[in-house]
Amino acid sequence: MRQALLRTAALPVCLWLALPALAAAQDLQDRPDAALPPPIETATPRADDQIDFSADQLEYDFDAEIVNATGDVRLFRQGERLRADKVTWNRKTGQVVAEGDIAVTNPQGDVAYGDRIELTDTLRDGVVDNMLVVLEQGGRIAAQRGVRENGGVLRVTRAAYTPCAVETSDGCPKEPSWKITAREVVYNPDRKRIRYKGARVTLFGLSLPLPAFSHTLGGENAPGLLAPQIRISRVNGLEFALPYHFNLAPNRDLTVTPHLFTGALPMIEGNYRQYSSLGAFDVTAYGTYSRRSDDLITETGTAPTSENAFRGYVDATGRAQFDPYWSAFGSIRVATDKTFLRRYDISRDDRLRSNIGVQRISENTYFAIQGWAVQSLRLDDAGQTQPVALPEIDFRHRLTDPLLGGRMTIQLNSLAISRNNGEQDTQRAFASALWELRRITGWGQEMTFSAFARGDIYNTNDNAGTAALYRGEEGFHTRAIGAVAVDVKWPFIGQAFGGDQRITPRVQIVASPKVSNIDISNEDARAVDLEDSNLFSLNRFPGYDRYEDSTRITYGLDYALDLPGIAINANIGQSYRLDQRTSIFPEGTGLTDRWSDFVGRTEVRVGQFVAFTHRYRLDKDGLAVRRNEVDATVGSRKTYALVGYLRLNRNNDQLVEDLRDREELRVGGRVAFARFWSAFGSATVDLTDREEDPLSLSDGFEPIRHRLGVQYEDDCVRLGLTWRRDYQDNGDARAGNSFLLTLALTNLGR
């Protein structure tokens, strides 16, 4: 009784709050107490020319051949269903008149409600007064009068359409975020498309006229205009982009986007997509004619003459799967110059990588032939030539050891690297075998035995212009590599602090004879650094061109604590080289001396609310922090804050480009407020100073860019405004402010 009274008392309040919206939105509201007909599968007609029906009471006039059914009447014919309080069926004329709480459902799942409906006995064609159609794909159409034509096409007059919610979460009526009103609306359920004549769109109470247009429902692919984009930037001025989508076939489409600028010549963008039974590919291209790189410095130290030229960019990806094992793939990214992508705010990448190849993958075998090409977009390497790696042939096969029960992996690999302008070219080939055996002792120790052997052949030409640390010796060279290792983990597991705790000491011993490294050119093992991820690796160099030839002991500790809603994982370790051979590791990597630096990682997760990761490297002498990396996220999906911090203090002479010191801060976040509103922002700051890196131009606090914005997003509208500022000039991509306005409406623009 109390709950019923509360509901009764709350109803007038709900209506009072909704009165301003009811006047405009009442036609789009749900019809009260309109029961739906049962699903199609529960009522199948006996024949196409017959109507199955049920009713509380049935009267039949034999002379006039008129059937009157009253009381929860339900009719079914060929997938068409009708429910009403009263139905009159004239068998002579075939006219069916339904009245009272009417609901008509077509085979597509759309439900039409009305006060009075006149239909033919097919239940498809007819006239509906005070119509509301709730679409299966989402959205609704309300009209004073509607006509259902042959094929289920619905033609309504003085109508309104919206895909938005028309009720609040409390069930009160509300004005939809946006709707379209029109003199005439035509809905074709087979094509899932709506067409308008004499239309106006109303967004948050602001009404704008629209020409005759149409759109699809339910994410269907169809030709037409997409959502526009508006941006203001310092270099290009006001930008307006309006994409047009061409639906070429069910498996092919093309989107063409003209970009108009007040401060530059127009640019055209095209995106072509296609998929088939073999695979799919996607090609995006940009093209314009503008001034390029008007403040770059040439090798002679003089500024080149600014010139107008064609500028553009191509980004293409694709994959074809010929059978369960064989496939081909490709990714091509090429720009006409170094600053095109940044000037037009397409990408902030500092290099573009292209990759093509074929591969075969089975349960125990991998085979691939592929190649890479890299285009550098960095302004400070204008004199450097990027290599082309083609081809690389890689074969790997895994087999079970029939004697000891271990597993062996055999690898064959060859690679050719070439450069233009007479710079270094390298070819290599090697064959290797890795045997591993894992055993669990009776006391619970996990022991892994490894044996590795590899034979290399290298050929290098024209290496005089390469840095001495990487060039090696010209001509053919061979190299033999071998290593054996044993790795022991001993986990201790128990309950602690109300959860499960795991403490795992770990020790690894690796023995490897002296390897001829210096005579071999180094192409793929340059960016080396001791980290928690490679502390226990057989070779702590990345790539294949350098191999760590030492006998060493590596020890560490893994820790894990699992509590209800909380997970903590951490590790720390160090290695000691037993032999006294001179290290081949560069200074500042943490591996130069016999005792390595300490490295570790700590991860903390608290449900879905907190994620914290800290990676570090501590100097073995004095525990100075040589690497300090923090990534933290706090909050929910709607409101969160994130921080990223990195400092590399390698304490070296900064002569090696791949091992320069750096300090950087990244912050970002989003705050949700007023239910549908949110504010967001991010910033990147260069904290490097001249003491850390003599070549750095930063003064210790140099903002790189920031972004601030506000956004509204509900069930059918996304509206946002973003302000971004770049603080650094990059060729003709100049520092300055840019503003971006975004607007997306459900079912419009895609």
Q: What is the DSSP string of 520-557?
A: S--SS--S----TTTTT-S--SSSSS------EEEEEE
* Measured distance CA(108)–CA(189) in Å, rounded: 7
* Measured distance CA(722)–CA(734) in Å, rounded: 18
Q: What is the mean pLDDT of residues 339-353?
A: 92
* pLDDT category of residue 5 using cuts at 50, 70 and 90: very low
**Torsion angles phi and psi, residue 26, rounded to 5:** -65, -35
What pLDDT was estimated at residue 655?
57
Judging by beta carbons within 10 Å of its beta carbon (0-12, 13-18, 19+), is residue 312 exposed, middle or buried? middle
Report the Cα–Cα distance between both ends of the chain, in Å, rounded: 50
Query: Of 273, 249, 246, nearest to 257 (Cα)?
Result: 246
Q: What is the mean pLDDT of residues 247-276?
A: 95
Among the residue ranges 148-157, 479-488, 621-630, the one predicted with the least confidence is 148-157
What pLDDT was estimated at residue 654?
56
Residue 19 has pLDDT above 70, yes or no: no
What pLDDT was estimated at residue 361?
97
What pLDDT was estimated at residue 302?
46
Q: What is the mean pLDDT of residues 101-108?
A: 83
* pLDDT category of residue 500 using cuts at 50, 70 and 90: very high
Residue predicted with more confidence, 188 or 47: 188
Query: Of 57, 46, 187, nearest to 110 (Cα)?
Result: 187
What pLDDT was estimated at residue 697?
65
Q: What is the mean pLDDT of residues 17-21?
A: 35
* Measured distance CA(231)–CA(243) in Å, rounded: 14
Element (H, E) at 731: none
Residue predicted with more confidence, 204 or 364: 364
* Measured distance CA(142)–CA(164) in Å, rounded: 13
* pLDDT category of residue 125 using cuts at 50, 70 and 90: confident
Query: Of 426, 419, 552, 572, nearest to 483 (Cα)?
Result: 552
What pLDDT was estimated at residue 78?
75
The string of pLDDT tens digits covering residues 278-311 is 999 999 999 999 877 544 444 444 455 456 789 9
What pLDDT was estimated at residue 635?
96
What pLDDT was estimated at residue 407?
94
* Measured distance CA(178)–CA(469) in Å, rounded: 65
Q: What is the mean pLDDT of residues 82-103?
A: 86
Q: What is the mean pLDDT of residues 154-169?
A: 87
What pLDDT was estimated at residue 218?
67
Give the tokens for residue 553.
């002991």
* Measured distance CA(47)–CA(371) in Å, rounded: 64
Positive or negative: CA dihedral 620, 622, 624, 630:
positive
* pLDDT category of residue 2 using cuts at 50, 70 and 90: very low
* Measured distance CA(740)–CA(228) in Å, rounded: 11
Residue 363 CB neighbour total at 10 angstroms: 6
Residue predicted with more confidence, 725 or 108: 725
627 contact partners, CB below 8 Å, separation of at least 6: 529, 531, 590, 599, 615, 616, 617, 647, 648, 649
What is the percent of the chain with per-residue pLDDT over 90, rounded to a whole number?
52
Q: Are strands 640-648 and 206-210 parallel, antiparallel or unpaired?
A: unpaired
Amino acid identity, residue 318?
G
SS3 57: strand
* pLDDT category of residue 381 using cuts at 50, 70 and 90: low
**Torsion angles phi and psi, residue 400, rounded to 5:** -90, 135
Q: What is the mean pLDDT of residues 484-508?
A: 96
* Measured distance CA(616)–CA(628) in Å, rounded: 5
Give the tokens for residue 597.
């630096």
Question: What is the third-level CATH fold of 52-223?
Answer: lipopolysaccharide transport protein A fold (2.60.450)
Residue 178 CB neighbour total at 10 angstroms: 22
Residue 1 has pLDDT above 60, yes or no: no
* Measured distance CA(626)–CA(616) in Å, rounded: 7
What pLDDT was estimated at residue 656?
60
Q: How far is residue 264 from each of residues 209, 285, 292, 344, 427, measured CA to CA in Å? A: 30, 18, 12, 10, 46
Give the tokens for residue 680.
């967001």
Instruction: Give the HSE-up count for residue 101: Cα atoms under 13 Å, Cβ half-sphere.
Output: 15
Judging by beta carbons within 10 Å of its beta carbon (0-12, 13-18, 19+), is residue 127 exposed, middle or buried? middle
What pLDDT was estimated at residue 14?
43
Q: What is the mean pLDDT of residues 420-428?
A: 88
* pLDDT category of residue 102 using cuts at 50, 70 and 90: confident
Q: Are strands 244-249 and 267-275 parallel, antiparallel or unpaired?
A: unpaired
Strand partners, 744: 718
What pLDDT was estimated at residue 693?
67
Residue 487 CB neighbour total at 10 angstroms: 19
Among the residue ranges 187-191, 293-297, 633-637, 742-746, the one predicted with the least confidence is 293-297
Q: What is the DSSP string of 398-458?
A: EEE-TTTS-EEEEEEEEEEEE-STT--EEEEEEEEEEEEEEEE-TTS-EEEEEEEEEEEEE
* Measured distance CA(211)–CA(180) in Å, rounded: 12
Q: What is the mean pLDDT of residues 305-325?
A: 90
Among the residue ranges 30-34, 243-247, 694-698, 738-742, the one predicted with the least confidence is 30-34
The string of pLDDT tens digits covering residues 355-378 is 999 999 999 999 999 999 999 888
Give the tokens for residue 557.
């500790």
* Measured distance CA(281)–CA(277) in Å, rounded: 12
Query: Of 93, 174, 130, 39, nearest to 715 (Cα)?
Result: 174
What pLDDT was estimated at residue 696?
66
The string of pLDDT tens digits covering residues 709-748 is 999 998 889 999 999 999 888 777 888 899 999 988 887 7
Residue 210, by phi and psi: left (phi above 0), alpha (psi -120 to 50) or beta?
Answer: beta
Residue 690 is classified by DSSP as: T
Q: Is the peptide bond before 391 cis (omega within 30 degrees of 0)?
A: yes
Residue 187 has pLDDT above 70, yes or no: yes
Residue 10 has pLDDT above 70, yes or no: no
- Do 710 and 679 touch, CB atoms closer than 8 A? yes
Element (H, E) at 14: helix 2-25
Residue 606 has pLDDT above 70, yes or no: yes
* pLDDT category of residue 49 using cuts at 50, 70 and 90: low
* Measured distance CA(217)–CA(668) in Å, rounded: 36
Mean pLDDT of the chain: 86
